[in-house]
Amino acid sequence: PPTRGAATPAGLLRGGGARPVTSRRSSQSRSGEQNCRCSNPPPPPPAPDPAAPARRREGPAPSPAATGGGVPEELSPRKNYQKMASEDITKLAESLAKTKVGGGQLSFKGQSLKLNTAEDAEEVIKQIEEFDGLEALRLEGNTVGVEAAKVIAKALEKKSELKRCHWSDMFTGRLRSEIPPALISLGDALIAAGAQLVELDLSDNAFGPDGILAAALKECHRKSSAQGKPLALKIFVAGRNRLENDGATALAEAFGIIGTLEEVHMPQNGINHPGITALAQAFAINPLLKVINLNDNTFTEKGAVAMAETLKALRQIEVINFGDCLVRSKGAVAIADAVKEGLHKLKELNLSFCEIKRDAALTVAEAIEDKTELEKLDLNGNCLGEEVCEQLHEILEGFNMASASTPVPSPPVDVATFLAFPSPEKLLRLGPKCSVLIAQQTDTSDVEKVVATLLRISSVFKDEAPVKTAVHETTDALMKKAFSSATFNSDAFITNLLVHMGLLKSEEKIKTVPSLYGILMTLNHMVQQDYFPKSLAPVLSAFVTKPNRALDSCSFARHMLLQTLHQLRLQK
C-alpha cells in the first residue's frame, strides 16, 4: 500500500540557508496570516449546533470483522464471528451518529471509518440518501474500498446539487490497484448526477497517474455543456498523489477543456518538465487563475521557462508557489521577466530551495519593484551567502519591503517524505541521523524494498561533499544491515537491482531508473566496503561491461565502477 502523510493544500516547504531571504511589505503585514495563502479567505463556516454531539469517536477501533480483514474460521466459530460483526456495525452506527451536518454539507471527516463492503457503508449511504440539497460531501480521513465506493457512488447518482467533494486521504491502507476502480465508480456517479462541481479535493491519496479523474472531469464537462451548464470548476487540490508526468499531462488536458480554474494546488507529485510544460499550456487557457501551487515538483530550466511564458498571459495571479521546484537560475530569470512585465496583483512569490544563484536571485528581487500588492518574497534555501543576502535586503528595503529579522525554521522532513520524492536538500534536512533513520524504517528482509530504497538514496547523489557523504553513510547503514541478515538473499538482491537499472530483462513490466549516474557512483562506493559480498563483484562487472545506451550516457561513472572492480579483482 502507498505510504503517505498529511499535506496542506499549499504544500509550503520553507527552510534555512545562511540567512533567510523572506520578506514582507511592512505596511501590509498581518499577524497570524497563513504563509501559504494570500487570497481572500473563504467565508467562515456556520456556527456549530451546541446540542450536537462531540465528534470524538468513543470506544475501541473496529475489529477485523467489521473492516473486512476477517478472522480464520478455524480460529473463530461462525456464530462468534457474526456476533463480532454485529457489534462492530453497531459501533459504526454510533460513530456515524456524530456526523456533522449543516449548510448543505454532510461530513464524515476524520472518523476513521473502514468501509470495505456494502454492509460497512450502509449507514453512510443512508445519511447521503436522506440528505436533501446535498452540496458538499466530506469523506477525508476514512478509508474506502472498491465495493463500498460502488454503493456510495450509487447514492450520489441522484445528488445533482453536489458542488464540493472533499475526498482527500480517503484510501489509507489500500493497495494501489484498489484505488482506480473506486475512483471510477465515484467519478461515474458525478457524471450520472450531472453535478456542477466547483471544488474537488483529492489530495493525499497517492494514487498515481493511473487513478486520476481526468477522464471523468472531461466527460462531466462534455455532458454538462450539452445541457447548457458547462462544468465550472474553480479549485483543484491534489497534493502528494504521485501523479508524475502521465497524471499531470492527463489533468492538463482536462484543465484546458474546463477553462474556469481559479486555484490549482498540486504539490509534491513527482512531476518533471514534460508534465510541468503540459500544465503550463493548460493554465494559459484558464485566465481567472489566482493561485498556482506546484511546490516540490521538478521544473528544471525547461519547465520553468514554459511556465514563465504562461505567467505573462495570466493577469489575475496572486500566489505563485514554486518552492523546492529546482527552477535553477535560468528558470528564475524567466519567471522574474514574467513578473516584471505584468502580474500587478501578485501577493506572494515563493522560489525557495530552487538552486538559484547570485545574479538570478538579484534579478528576481529587482522584478518586484512595482508590485504594490506583494506581501511576501521567499528566496530561502538557495545558499546565496551573506554578501548576496545583504544586497537583496538593500534592494527590498528600497521597495519598502521589511526584511525578516529572524531565521525561518525549516519544517521537519521525515523518511517517508524523502523516499516518496527524494532530493539532496531533503536528505540533508533529515539531519545527522538520516542514515540510522532510513535503515531503521526499511524492511531489510524484503529484497525489493531494499533495492527501492537504495535507488532512491542514490538518485540524489552529487559530487558536492555534504551530499556525497550523506548518500554514502545512508547507503552503508542500509546495506550493512541487509547483508548482515542471515535471511537476506544476496543473489536476489543483485538480480533485482540489475532489472531496475535496465541491465537485465524481466518478464514483468518494471519501471527502470531514469539515470544510472547516481546508482553507479553509489555502487562504486559500496563494492569497496567490507559488508559487500565479494561474490557479487564478477556479476556486477559482467553486466556493467555489456553495451547499453543508459550506461553510455554515464560513461564517467561507468568507468569509475569498472576500474574499482578491476582493482579489487587484482587484490585477491
**The model's pTM:** 0.56
Q: Using only the alpha carbons of the chain, give its radius of gyration.
A: 26
Distance, C-alpha 223 to centroid of its chain: 31
Query: In angstroms, rounded to a whole number, what is the distance separating the alpha carbons of residues 441 and 161?
Result: 46
Q: What are the pLDDT tens digits along the chain (572 aa)? A: 343 333 333 332 233 333 445 555 543 333 333 333 333 344 444 544 444 444 333 344 443 333 334 434 434 444 444 444 455 555 555 554 445 445 689 999 989 899 999 999 999 999 999 999 999 999 999 999 999 999 999 999 999 999 999 999 898 888 878 888 998 999 999 999 999 888 888 888 876 675 566 887 888 889 889 988 888 999 998 888 888 999 999 999 999 999 999 999 999 999 999 999 999 999 999 999 999 999 999 999 999 999 999 999 999 999 999 999 999 999 999 999 999 988 999 999 999 999 999 999 999 998 988 888 998 999 988 878 777 888 888 777 766 654 443 344 555 678 888 888 888 888 998 888 889 999 998 988 899 999 999 999 999 999 889 999 999 999 999 999 999 998 899 999 999 999 999 999 877 778 888 899 999 999 999 999 999 999 999 999 999 999 998 899 899 999 999 999 999 888 86
Q: Please state, in angstroms and rounded to a whole number, the distance separating the CA atoms of residues 482 and 497.
A: 14
CA-to-CA distance for 374 and 367, rounded, in angstroms? 11
User: In CATH, which of 1.25.40.200, 1.20.1110.10, 3.30.70.360, 3.40.50.300 is domain 415-570?
Assistant: 1.25.40.200
Provide the residue ranges of all domains of the chain, joining segments of one domain with +: 22-28+62-403, 415-570
Domains 22-28+62-403 and 415-570 share a fold: no
Q: Which residue has the cell 465508480?
A: 185
Contact (Cβ atoms closer than 8 angstroms) between residue 12 and residue 35: yes
How far is Cα 105 from Cα 107, in angstroms, rounded to an integer? 6
Provide the 10 A C-beta neighbour count for residue 370. 10
Angle (deg, nearest 10), helices 358-367 and 328-341: 10
Q: Evaluate whether 353 touches 21 at the Cβ level (below 8 Å).
A: no
Contact 339, 314 (CB under 8 A): no
Domain spanning 22-28+62-403: CATH superfamily: Ribonuclease Inhibitor (3.80.10.10)
Q: Where are the alpha helices (DSSP H) in 323-464?
A: 328-341, 358-367, 386-398, 415-420, 424-429, 434-440, 447-458
The answer to whether the beta carbons of residues 265 and 11 sit under 8 Å apart is: yes
